[in-house]
């Protein structure tokens, strides 16, 4: 969304990111470190849109609340901050779905897509909005849209309510690494739960789920059986972390067959119809059972590569 007009002068000093980025051909875009915005649906078929004030670039059009990223600020944090500043979106009221990236080389715009985790009404919190409204998805195209948002809306609309679901066969994943897990099955399962919870907060690259856009935050279910059922619940990440809301992991402690519990979890996820279902297992019989219900299957290495890669990143 290049050539975005900056907001009116703030009462205090600007962040270094509140400046123009200029491309090789002279194209200007607001946000020295890029920009980000939030597209959130309310779970009832409506998305929150902002009617832009007339003095802004493309004033009078409709788009999503957003703005320049601050220095050292990630796109998700920026989108949530901007939506709070412009639309009064509570910082604890959005569950992440995915991010879509527009990269112009010299500047990026990240659309952060989420669902309201609880009802809230937007509030005009600055001078950049004429109105803030929950718009039915099938009525968005009838509005005069900001050109940047209008160009991205068809692709966003196709998956705006999509949430993939990953079901983990804990016994199979733990058993795929000869690290002495058999000496303490509950402890090994606890470590897996901790790794999955951290991964759930960080999100998954879209290519790993055969989905479009940049990054996704699936729902996660980890099924424990036998002695592993004594595993401790994963600790929640600090509530100050804006991505912690995406870190909830459902833990199923199977009273009987772990395979039956996995099949049931995959079936329930598929019946919800929110998005693709992926089961992580290398068990051939289980693979056949879940694939027959429409789920995709990934081996333990798929999950292990992601958690190992994450553990090597600085935190």
Residues 292 and 200 in one domain: yes
Tell me, what's the pLDDT at 246?
46
Is the pLDDT at 241 greater than 70? The verdict is no
Domain containing 250 equals: 165-311
Residues 121 and 187 in one domain: no
Is the pLDDT at 122 greater than 80? The verdict is yes
Question: Residue 235 belongs to a domain with what CATH number?
Answer: 3.40.50
- Can you give the three-state secondary structure of 86-152, one letter per residue? HHCCCCCCEEEEEEEEEECCCCEEEEEEEEECCCCCCCCCCCCEEEEEEEEHHHHHHCCECHHHHHH
C-beta separation of 100 from 155 below 8 A: yes
Residues 171 and 279 in one domain: yes
The DSSP symbol for 9 reads P
* Tens-place pLDDT, residues 27-46: 999 899 999 999 999 999 99
pLDDT band at 126 (very low <50, low <70, confident <90, very high): confident
Tell me, what's the pLDDT at 54?
83
Sign of the dihedral through C-alpha 8, 12, 17, 21: positive
Q: Is residue 9 part of a domain?
A: no
Q: Is residue 230 part of a domain?
A: yes
Q: Determine the number of helices (DSSP H) and then strands (DSSP E) in the chain.
A: 7, 16
Tell me, what's the pLDDT at 49?
98
Is the pLDDT at 273 greater than 60? The verdict is yes
Candidates 224, 208, 305; CA nearest to 258 is 224
Q: Is residue 10 part of a domain?
A: no
Tell me, what's the pLDDT at 313?
52
The predicted model gives 9-13 an average pLDDT of: 47
The predicted model gives 246-275 an average pLDDT of: 92
The predicted model gives 280-290 an average pLDDT of: 97
Q: Is residue 13 part of a domain?
A: no
Quick check: pTM over 0.85? yes
Tell me, what's the pLDDT at 1?
52
Is the pLDDT at 13 greater than 90? The verdict is no
Distance, CA of 12 to CA of 19 (rounded, Å): 15
Residues 82 and 190 in one domain: no
Average pLDDT over the chain reads 89
Which of residues 307 and 266 earns the better pLDDT score? 266
How many domains, in total, are found in the chain?
2
Residues 169 and 304 in one domain: yes
The predicted model gives 251-258 an average pLDDT of: 96
Residues 105 and 212 in one domain: no
Q: Is residue 282 part of a domain?
A: yes
Pairing outcome for strands 66-68 and 35-41: antiparallel
Candidates 223, 249, 221, 233; CA nearest to 171 is 223
The predicted model gives 45-71 an average pLDDT of: 91
pLDDT band at 56 (very low <50, low <70, confident <90, very high): confident
Q: Is residue 4 part of a domain?
A: no
Residues 96 and 171 in one domain: no
- Point out which residues pair with 114 in neighbouring strands: 40, 96
Distance, CA of 228 to CA of 60 (rounded, Å): 58
Q: Is residue 7 part of a domain?
A: no
Tell me which of 120, 137, 159 is where a domain ends: 159
* Tens-place pLDDT, residues 224-240: 999 999 999 876 544 44
pLDDT band at 77 (very low <50, low <70, confident <90, very high): very high
Tokens representing 158 are 């196709």
* Tens-place pLDDT, residues 197-225: 999 999 999 988 999 999 999 999 999 99
Tell me, what's the pLDDT at 151?
95
Is the pLDDT at 9 greater than 50? The verdict is no
């Amino acid at each position: 969304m290049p050539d975005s007009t900056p907001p009116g002068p703030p009462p205090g000093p600007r962040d270094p990111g509140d400046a123009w980025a200029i491309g090789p051909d002279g194209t200007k875009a607001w946000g020295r470190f890029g920009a980000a915005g939030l597209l959130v649906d309310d779970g009832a078929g409506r998305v929150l849109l902002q009617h832009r004030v007339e003095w802004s670039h493309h004033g009078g059009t409709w788009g999503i609340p957003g703005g320049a990223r601050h220095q050292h600020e990630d796109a998700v944090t920026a989108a949530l901050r901007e939506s709070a500043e412009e639309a009064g979106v509570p910082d604890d009221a959005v569950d992440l779905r995915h991010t879509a990236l527009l990269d112009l080389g010299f500047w990026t715009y990240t659309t952060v897509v989420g669902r309201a985790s609880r009802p809230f009404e937007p509030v005009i919190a600055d001078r950049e909005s004429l109105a803030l409204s929950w718009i039915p998805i099938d009525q968005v195209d009838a509005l005069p849209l900001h050109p940047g948002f209008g160009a991205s809306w068809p692709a966003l609309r196709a998956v705006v309510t999509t949430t993939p679901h990953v079901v983990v066969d804990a016994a199979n994943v733990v058993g795929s690494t000869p690290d002495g897990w058999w000496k303490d099955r509950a402890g090994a399962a606890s470590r897996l739960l901790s790794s999955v919870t951290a991964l759930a907060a960080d999100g998954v690259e879209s290519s790993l789920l055969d989905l479009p856009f940049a990054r996704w935050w699936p729902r996660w279910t980890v099924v424990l059986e036998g002695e592993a059922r004594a595993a401790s619940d994963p600790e929640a990440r600090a509530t100050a972390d804006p991505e912690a809301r995406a870190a909830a992991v459902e833990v199923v402690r199977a009273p009987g067959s772990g395979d039956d519990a996995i099949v049931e979890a995959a079936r329930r996820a598929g019946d919800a119809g929110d998005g693709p279902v992926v089961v992580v297992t290398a068990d051939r019989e289980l693979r056949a059972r879940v694939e027959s219900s429409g789920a995709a299957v990934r081996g333990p290495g798929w999950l292990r590569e992601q958690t190992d890669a994450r553990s090597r990143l600085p935190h």
